[in-house]
């Protein structure tokens, strides 16, 4: 049962007919694992906390650097040198003290990563490298935990939902089976500040849709954003019957 303060805080969401109190209660009961507290992880964490997700587990082994502040909006100048997850935790707590944050200051891997994925309602990949994405995808497939994946670089970004609980829905490895794992990161190729905000907001939206069962998530689709032309393209994805992860 929600408190009067919660009913007031989340009133604008509860007013949406498709969402209602039932949707809000699902968010309050959810446990979301966010891997990465950088350009994508910051808006994801802030919007999910604002929306009322009950528990956020945030993992990142990096520290706040001056160059991060151009796009990683949960950090401020006074946070330079601080663990990113501690900085995000403080920002989330300031925004919504009812959201519980479990801050993991080391890289999630091995049995610890498996345990966190198994406990999560949903996983959001906010990393910037393919080895981490492939590993997270593999474990999400193993435990059939929905995965919201996002990426951003330059003026471009993309979002997809991989929910292998559903029949014939591809996994991340189906999309990128022969990718060059040495592709450039934002620190090497650059990134326009608001692009991470656009993609992170879309990831948070998809996460809320999956958790509440509202609408049509991007399962089996890839949404591509071009900030220069301000165009979105949606492409259907097929499951790879020879995928080494989900086949």
Active site residues: 186
CA 228 to chain centre: 23
Residue 148 near residue 155 (C-beta atoms within 8 A): no
Locate 202 and state its tokens. 């879309």
Query: CA 153, CA 224: separation in Å to the nearest integer?
Result: 12
Q: What DSSP state is assigned to residue 154? A: B
Query: CA 43, CA 56: separation in Å to the nearest integer?
Result: 13
Alpha-carbon distances of 57 from 36, 101, 166, 225, rounded to whole Å = 10, 6, 25, 27
Q: Which of 182, 179, 170 shows the shortest CA–CA distance to 219?
A: 170
Give the residues across from 223 on adjacent strands: 159, 234
Query: CA 147, CA 139: separation in Å to the nearest integer?
Result: 10
Exposed / middle / buried, residue 91 (Cβ in 10 Å: 0-12, 13-18, 19+): buried
CA 239 to chain centre: 22
Query: CA 80, CA 13: separation in Å to the nearest integer?
Result: 34
Give the residues across from 235 on adjacent strands: 222
């Amino acid at each position: 049962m929600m408190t009067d303060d919660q009913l007031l805080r989340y009133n604008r969401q509860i007013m949406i007919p498709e969402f209602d109190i039932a949707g809000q209660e699902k968010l309050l009961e959810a446990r979301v694992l966010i891997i990465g507290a950088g350009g994508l992880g910051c808006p994801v964490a802030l919007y999910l906390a604002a929306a009322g997700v009950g528990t956020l587990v945030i993992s990142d082994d990096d520290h706040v650097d001056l160059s991060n502040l151009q796009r990683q909006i949960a950090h401020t100048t006074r946070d330079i040198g601080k663990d990113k997850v501690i900085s995000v935790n403080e920002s989330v707590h300031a925004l919504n003290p009812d959201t519980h944050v479990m801050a993991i200051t080391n890289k999630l891997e091995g049995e610890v990563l498996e345990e966190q994925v198994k406990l999560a309602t949903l996983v959001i990949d906010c990393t910037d490298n393919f080895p981490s994405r492939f590993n997270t995808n593999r474990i999400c497939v193993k435990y059939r935990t929905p995965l919201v994946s996002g990426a951003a670089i330059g003026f471009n970004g993309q979002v997809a939902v991989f929910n292998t609980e559903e029949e014939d829905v591809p996994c991340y490895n189906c999309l990128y089976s022969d990718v060059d794992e040495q592709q450039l990161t934002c620190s090497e190729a650059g990134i326009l500040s608001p692009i991470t905000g656009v993609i992170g907001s879309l990831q948070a939206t998809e996460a809320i849709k999956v958790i509440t069962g509202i609408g049509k998530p991007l399962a089996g689709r890839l949404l591509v954003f071009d900030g220069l032309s301000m165009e979105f393209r949606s492409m259907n994805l097929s499951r790879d019957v020879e995928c080494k992860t989900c086949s």
